[in-house]
Amino acid sequence: MIKSTVILSLAAVLLIIINAKTTGRHMEGIRIGLKQMIGLIPMLLSAFVLAGMLEAVIPEGFVNQWLAREAGLKGILLGTVAGMFSAVGPYAFFPIAASIRASGAGLGTVVSLVVGWCLLGLSRLPYEAGLLGMKFSLMRMAVSMPICIIAGMAAHAVELLIM
Amino acid sequence: MKGAFAGIASAAIVLIPAVYIIGGTGLLLEGLHISKNSAMAAAPMLLVSFIVIGQLRVLISKEMLNKWLQNNKGIKGILVSALTGGLFPGGPYVYYPFIASFVEKEVPFSIFAAFIVGKQVYDFARIPMEMSFLGPGVTLVRNIITLPVPIIIGFLAKNINPEKLGGAFFTKKGGKL
């Protein structure tokens, strides 16, 4: 967590400098970010409670059999489907994904969960189908489904080989 | 946003008694302890993440992205639209109406596909959140693995003949793409 904070802090400082030199609106950027964060506090707190409860309640046997590195393709498929049905925004999704990772899920499962949520998330379907048509949405999702599984398998291989 | 909050809050409210029934007060306290520790650990990262998000929102304007999308065609167009998707601010209620506004401008289908998948896969403003919660290692692996995805989808879309698949893709506005 310290590593992430350091990287993000460096990115924030860099962006503030770039914004100050190019647009001169760096203070506005800080205000926009903080305002967004304050508005999301109730959502974030609910997500943390939900994630904590999930981490406590998910049985170790279930994790080992279905989500851990040893689960292999089963975990990847489950991750993809879970990502698809995680009809929430990033502020709620990532604490939940982190709790699943912390409970012992493998890298393949977590990556397929994140990619499944990115590409197949059903919460975006009404916007896409409404504005671009159901045919476009179904085609995009049909192409995206194997991508989630391939991404999960690639991450699983990375975990086996490197991590 | 209110609907999403209601969904998450409802799920938490349903899960709390379920945890109590499964494991009693001990498991419930353990869950709350995990929640508190996670929130405390994530707080500084969240603060910095939102500063990054705010800076990106100011730095990248819709007008600039609009210009990029209209000025680039072919392979370069696919790459630029995937990148533009990743840079585009806001949720689905913002970027779908934006990209739908290009249907009548006869922008190639591959540009739409690369933009939408670029937004979903890259979304640079989301990376700070991803890194905060999943750590730099998982974030790096996930982003490297999915880096070519919007470009592959763009190329697939470029080579698809809509007529072989039953006509126009955009049924809503009846576009020719």
Q: What is the mean pLDDT of residues A29-45?
A: 89
Q: What pLDDT is recorded for position B65?
A: 78
Residue B173 has pLDDT above 60, yes or no: no
Percent of chain B whose pLDDT exceeds 90: 28
Rg of chain A, C-alpha, whole Å: 19
ipTM of the complex: 0.80
Minimal C-alpha gap between B125 and chain A (Å): 10
- Kindly state whether B49 is in contact with chain A, defined as any CB-CB distance less than 8 angstroms: yes
CA distance A19 to A43: 29
Residue B174 has pLDDT above 60, yes or no: no
CA distance A154 to B175: 37
CA distance B40 to B28: 18
Q: Please give the model's pTM, rounded to 2 decimal places.
A: 0.79
- Kindly state whether B113 is in contact with chain A, defined as any CB-CB distance less than 8 angstroms: yes
Secondary structure (3-state) at A105: coil
Minimal C-alpha gap between A88 and chain B (Å): 6
Residue B81 · residue A38 · CB < 8 Å: no
Residue A9 · residue B48 · CB < 8 Å: yes
Which of B53, B112, B120 comes nearest A118 by C-beta? B120
- Asked which of A21-25, A124-128, A150-154 is least confident by mean pLDDT, the reply is A124-128
Q: What is the pLDDT of residues B45-99, one digit of tens each?
A: 889 888 988 898 888 877 777 777 777 778 888 999 999 999 887 778 778 888 8
Percent of chain A whose pLDDT exceeds 70: 99
Confidence tier at B3 by pLDDT (50, 70, 90):
low
Chain A residues within 8 A of B58 when measuring between CB atoms = 19, 23, 25-26, 28-29, 32
Q: What is the mean pLDDT of residues B15-22?
A: 89
Q: What is the mean pLDDT of residues B146-159?
A: 91
- Kindly state whether B45 is in contact with chain A, defined as any CB-CB distance less than 8 angstroms: yes
- Taking an 8 Å cut-off on Cβ atoms, the answer to whether B169 and A89 are in contact is no
CA angle A54, A5, B54 (to 5 degrees): 95
Q: What is the pLDDT of residues A64-90, one digit of tens each?
A: 777 878 878 999 999 999 999 887 788
Which of A135, A144, A148 would best serve as a mutation to test chain B binding (most B beta carbons within 10 A)? A135
